[in-house]
Amino acid sequence: MQKTLEVPHTLIEQFTLGNGLRVVMNEDHSVPVVSVAVYYDVGSRNEREGRTGFAHLFEHMMFQGSENVPKAAHFQYISNAGGTMNGTTSSERTNYFETLPANQLPLALWLESDRMRSLSVTQENLDNQREAVKEEKRLRYDNQPYVNGFLRLFEMCFRNPANAHSTIGSMEDLDAASVEDIREFFRVYYAPNNAVLSIVGDFDQAETRALIDRYFSTIPRQPLPPPVDVSEPEEVTQRQDVFIDKLAPVPAFALGWKIPSRRSPEFYALSLASHLLFEGESARLYLKLVKGEESVVQIQGGIDERRGPSGLFIVVIPKPDRDGRQIRETILAEVKSLAVTGPSEEEMEKLRNNLFNSAVRSRQSSLYRAQQLAEFELYDRDPELFNTDLLNYLEVKPKQISEALRRYLDTENRVLLEILPAPQEVAAPAAPHPPGEPKQPTAPLPQVPPAPDEPAAGAPILPAQAAEPVLESS
């Protein structure tokens, strides 16, 4: 008999200002902190051809100062108040968020409202942040093995440019952007009627509503942004491709499928199927390829969740002495097996327990709740989904998983990207040095410096120690 799983109900308050700003709040006095999230309905899906990368560029621009906040002072204000903050960009939205001691809520609202009202969009700020984005691309894309290859997956899966291009965008497009282009982008997409403000934590509702009205209500609304067409043909755009990677130490490959949009019945079923196949050390593919055959160095997978057509991807780095074709056959055979026989009741029970455990644990974070409430309000205009969406996963039946797998994954309508290391350039042999009289003086006595207490300046940092950038895109 299946046991009933229930997560604590979250009380949600919501209202809309006269300028169209949607506000969602969850009052919780269990911990004296407060989290604020501002979600703007703009991501790479909103960019047109020739103007890609603007959404991510603005993630950087939003920290360049506004009428009452100097350049980069947003970081300092939050840090000095004992808080943390960040911002990210995806295909679907751009978000900014901070968590602070509860008594610092007025500071967070003032900072967010000041840049929504009066961001400093100048030629100087555009130029330096354009270079910052280029440096980010060099650091996180061009100098990392496999990453640029994996960007090809979206181009292979999706035909519509709104879905196919990467969030980082084109550096040529950014170079061609004028400050007038950027000001117009800010006017259209960073308007209050294109945003959601979410607040979760230890606050008084009446006082907070007064603060929101004081700081945000006089920001003028703007005409709605143009609608976005993310429609896609059923077929993937290109089924196979090879990417030569100068930085890849060993070959790798990725498989990708085009799947239905978030919150559709098929999406829920495929999301659970992905957990069964490659999430965690007890997943079917991990047990078979890593623990069983010991044929892969790494296998990862995930779903790119979108309001339009989404994607499911599996990325594999085989061991150097193993055949990638055989590994792909194993993966596809496991997909077919799950599609034909479906998950066992034991697997379904484990899935439900993991989903329930994850839901309960994540809700302990005020920031998680603020972000999820903002997302449901932005995408679905229904923050109450925070309390009910888990049921859509828990109620999926094994038959639905099998049907979704047969329809979307156990098919030839998929992409295969092989990533191959670039051939090593062979250096020409050095010309022999002509003989002559030795002129090198006698070597000096060895000098042994004292052992330093810490690495010298400029010493390489191991990857595990490397700090993440303050801002990151997703």
Q: How far apart are CA 431 and CA 102, in angstroms?
A: 71
Residue 313: how many other CB atoms lie within 10 Å: 21
**β-bridge mates for residue 317, sequence order:** 298
pLDDT band, very low/low/confident/very high, at 6 (cuts 50, 70, 90): confident
pLDDT on residue 45: 97
Reported confidence tier of residue 469, pLDDT bands at 50, 70, 90: very low
Cα–Cα distance for residue pair 192/337, rounded to 1 Å: 49
CA 203/CA 13 separation, integer angstroms: 13
Residue type, 50: G
With cut-offs at 50, 70 and 90, classify the pLDDT of residue 460.
very low
Q: Which residues of 159-184 are buried (b: 16+ CB within 10 A; e: fewer)?
A: bbebbbbbbbbbeebbeebeeeebee
Query: How many percent of the chain have pLDDT more than 90?
Result: 85
How confident is the model at residue 8, as a pLDDT? 80
* d(C-alpha 86, C-alpha 255), whole Å: 31
pLDDT exceeds 50 at position 86: yes
Residues 6+ apart with CB under 8 A from 111: 69, 74, 77, 78, 98
Q: What is the pLDDT of residue 5?
A: 62
Q: Rounded distance, CA 164 to CA 237, Å?
A: 10
Residue 398, pLDDT score: 97
Residue pair 146/94 in contact (Cβ under 8 Å)? The answer is no
Instruction: Return the pLDDT at 7.
Output: 77
- Res 93: pLDDT: 98
Predicted local distance difference test score (pLDDT) of residue 428: 58
Residue at token pair 């990533």: 419
Q: What is the pLDDT of residue 231?
A: 97
pLDDT tier, 467 (very low <50, low <70, confident <90, very high otherwise): very low
Q: Is a pLDDT exceeding 50 seen at residue 471?
A: no
Provide the residue type at 433 as one letter: H
pLDDT digits (tens, 9 = 90+) for 418-443: 999 998 765 556 566 555 554 444 43
Residue type, 109: L
pLDDT given at position 2? 52
Give the N- to C-terminal CA distance of the chain in Å, as an integer. 40
3-state secondary structure the chain: CCCCCCCCCCCCEEEECCCCCEEEEEECCCCCEEEEEEEECCCHHHCCCCCCCHHHHHHHHCCCCECCECCCHHHHHHHHCCCEEEEEECCCCEEEEEEEEHHHHHHHHHHHHHHHHHECCCHHHHHHHHHHHHHHHHHHHHCCCCHHHHHHHHHHHCCCHHHHCCCCCCHHHHHHCCHHHHHHHHHHHCCHHHEEEEEEECCCHHHHHHHHHHHHCCCCCCCCCCCCCCCCCCCCCCCEEEEEECCCCCCEEEEEEEECCCCCHHHHHHHHHHHHHHCCCCCHHHHHHHHHCCCEEEEEEEEECCCCCEEEEEEEEECCCCCHHHHHHHHHHHHHHHHHHCCCHHHHHHHHHHHHHHHHHHCCCHHHHHHHHHHHHHHHCCCCHHHHHHHHHHCCCHHHHHHHHHHHCCCCCCEEEEEEECCCCCCCCCCCCCCCCCCCCCCCCCCCCCCCCCCCCCCCCCHHHCCCCCCCCC
Q: How large is the average pLDDT for residues 366-378?
A: 98
Q: What is the pLDDT of residue 454?
A: 36
Report residue 410: phi and psi, to 5°.
Answer: -85, 65
The mean per-residue pLDDT over the stretch 356-373 comes to 96
**pLDDT value for 453:** 38
The pLDDT tens digits for 29-43 are 999 999 999 999 999
**What residues have CB less than 8 Å from 392, skipping those under 6 apart?**
263, 268
Single-letter residue type at 250: V
Instruction: Tell the residue number behind the tokens 């923050």, with chain if given.
Output: 383
Output the pLDDT for position 427: 52
Look at residue 126 and tell me whether its pLDDT is greater than 70: yes
Polymer length in residues for the chain: 474
Cross-strand bridge partners of residue 254: 315, 417
Token digits for 344? 């066992």
Two tokens, residue 370: 């603020």
Give one word for 472, left, alpha or beta, with left for phi > 0 and alpha for psi -120 to 50: beta
- Model pLDDT, residue 426: 57
Convert the pLDDT of each residue in 178-226 to its tens digit: 999 999 999 999 999 999 999 999 999 999 999 999 999 999 999 999 9
